[in-house]
Amino acid sequence: MNRHLQSEAAKKIIRQIENWVKKNSTISILYSNWYVGVTNSPPQRKSQHKTKLGSEPCFWKEYNANTKEIALAIELLYHKKGMTESVKIGGVKPDSKFVYVYKKYPTIFD
């Protein structure tokens, strides 16, 4: 396992993401219905996703991972679980330390 995932910050964020996704999933967790990413500016990134989606991202949540390395390790962990649109990671700015998550495919129950 990636050593960055062993940090207290990573463990806390992973617990929070799991709780958030579980709380906002209808029956069971389908990670492929969610997206996780890394940014240096959550408001700007949320706005970019809003433009792309044509509406507010559903169940948006952001977390300060303290370092880019921890944020990228968390992103990779969740991309492996299916919380992605492609297998692309990285390409983030040096000061990117925020992990964000939102539901890509909300249901009529959301």
- pLDDT tens string 81-101: 999 876 555 578 999 999 999
Dihedral pair phi/psi, residue 26, rounded to 5°: -70, -55
Distance, CA of 51 to CA of 78 (rounded, Å): 23
Residue 88 is predicted with a pLDDT of 59
38-50 confidence digits (pLDDT tens): 999 999 999 998 8
Residue 8 is predicted with a pLDDT of 96
Burial of 34 (0-12, 13-18, 19+ CB in 10 A): buried
Distance, CA of 75 to CA of 98 (rounded, Å): 10
Say which range, 26-30, 47-51, 66-70, 104-108, has the weakest mean pLDDT. 104-108
Residue 37 is predicted with a pLDDT of 94
Is the pLDDT higher at 106 or at 72? 72
